Structure 1
Amino acid sequence: MNEATDAGSGPLLGLGTWTRQGPATLVLREGAWVVLVPGLRKHVTEAAWEVLGRRPAPEEFLDQLVEAGELAGADALTALLFAFYDGTTATFGVKGTTPLAVYTAQGAQRIAGTEEEPFVLRTVEGVRRTAFGDLPAEDPIGAPRVAAGIVPVRGFVHTTVDPATLAAAERAALAAQVEKDGRSIEDPAAATRRTERPAPGRRPPRAPHRGGSRRWSPAPPARCRRPWRGEQRPPAPPPPPRPGRTSSRAFSPVRPRHRPHRPPRSGPPRRAPCPRLRRRRLSSPRPLLRRRRPLPPPPRRPRRRLLPRGRRPPGSADWSAPRCSTGRAAPGQGSSRRPTRSRRRPSRRRPPPRTRATTGSPRRPP
């Protein structure tokens, strides 16, 4: 990367193709390049790469591109720019009104199509620099430079003569011309329209608040709230009159006794309530609803003590009755009810020793 500087002139990009990323597509291969508009399909870009590799004549490039890209015709390409270099001599083709800046020793010139001649093919000798679109910065440190490939661009600068090899006067003239054209190569008519377009004005300030210097802010939307207990609601407005009715009763705020679409009540009339009862109802306050108290829990039954088979709890009638060897009471003594078995898991503790009656040993059944 070369950078030539001189007293009173700015830096310039050196040899190579310097790009600025954007929506268009630049196809660069073997001393030739072509710029395609955004929105074309991938096979058209690949066809441009293939046609540049054949190195066709500049007059035949457009026809071969249309054939390789399987396009309906040259009108399918709204804009197209290409160039073929042979040293400092280059042939440029431009389709559309997008300009291309070419810098030579005599100065700078623009190549672009017109409405009468949409496609222009021109050969220029002594080309030092070519520029298109929004140009990259004139600082080669860290700037992207492409030798060959397919890259998205918004603009690029292709330098064929290193500015460091030029004389001081020639280089100063080139730098002055580059500075004059600016950082974007565009149509002069479009540049004039853009400069004449009024700049977006500043937003006018808001009106001051009524109460002071505070800025105005819209009032919050009205929220529907529920009335407090004891607050009376305003009377509802009367319903609007129905179309086609001219009766004065329709405009009365008093609601009619019977609706028009309902027949009158048939049968005996309703009895009016007793005035005393009615007065008592109106004067008595509305009772407050009280929460029901929970019912008390049912009484718990005493838990029954489960003993081993053949034993009775103390205080029972047959506690001191003599027992037979089988553990049952002797006939005629005690209760003949069979002891219930325990459903609980038997305890591992040893049962207490049996106590014998003081009257003697129990009798055995006969």
Structure 2
Amino acid sequence: MKTLTKQEVFDMIYGCTILGTGGGGSLLRGLEMLEKDFAEGKELNMISLDELPDDGMIATPYGCGAPIKEGEGLDPKFDRLPRLDDSPAVLAFRTLEEYLGEKCCAVSSTELGGENTAEALHIACQLGLPIVDSDPTGRSVPDLQHTTYYVHDLPIYPLALATNFGETMIIKNVIDDFRAEDIVRAVVVASGNELGGVDHPMRGEVYKKSVIPDALTYAMNIGKTLRETKSAGGDVAAALADSFDGKILFKGTIGETPWESRDGFNFGNIHINGIGSFQGETYRIWIKNENIVSYRNEVVDVSVPDLICMVDKNGEPVTNPNWVKDMEVTVFALPAPEIWKTPKGLEVFGPRSFNFDFDYKPFK
């Protein structure tokens, strides 16, 4: 077991925001959540998969919805409703434990993202549980079926949901993860595009065989490299690409960003106009919460499951939809975890799963 320092946790959240590929929630809210935990004197412990008891119960909490621009709030129609003082994912976690009649022995992150990973860390802090150094996605993903749990045919249910208004519900069973996505997304839309959830309760023995090991340490190392490179005045995108088997894809300034929030997701396109050695060229990224497919001069360049990441000229991660016109950015790719490159991984999280008419091709 490793007790994480505040610096290590903040490095992890920054790394998760890079790996979030534009999604995974708000970096700022994630940092604020954990800043509060440390101010309260909470301790955060991380265990390896080997340290997780085979017979212990573990579950996967998250926030679900369409990320909003920093500083924006809920639709005024929700103003009449009471608000929780804490994350609804904490309430969802406690609700699931109550339904199961059993306490969990550890917490799993649901994806690597600035706010969603922070949610799991926050729950671990508040409940005095360790976080496991693993993850079922290795990046951020838009849909509930986009997990290694699905690839390993593990049931998503029972799952607990909690709204920001204190309402809770248990879904005892559901046909499959796709149906769960439809049901949960409907509650998201009815709840101001914000919802706390927790799913995939399972024994440690099963969990160990179904996730990506050492994922949080990987994120922490990315965040540490980002911080140290920024401090030295270096090129963050180049340092991350060089250190983590990635590739610089494009440098430019943000142009038009037509997007909409629909059905509990953000959909749209980020247009980038080239600068420097990319002068005269264009880049476009299609998003469904996360950066899913990119085009260089309208020719497909990179697609899921590989990671399309973006930082601004100061080396800060750029999340969707927090772009600003004329913002200078660098786009770079990082490789997907190997499980996503398997036939079943590509079936559920390759470009064709998003209705694109082309097959996945690794960026390098």
TM-score of the alignment, normalized to the shorter chain, above 0.5: no
Q: More helix by proportion, 1 or 2?
A: 2
What band does the TM-score fall into relative to the shorter chain? under 0.3
Which protein is bigger by CA-based radius of gyration? 1
TM-score (norm 1): 0.19
Q: Quick one: higher RCO (CA 8 Å, sep 6+), 1 or 2? A: 2
Q: More strand by proportion, 1 or 2?
A: 2
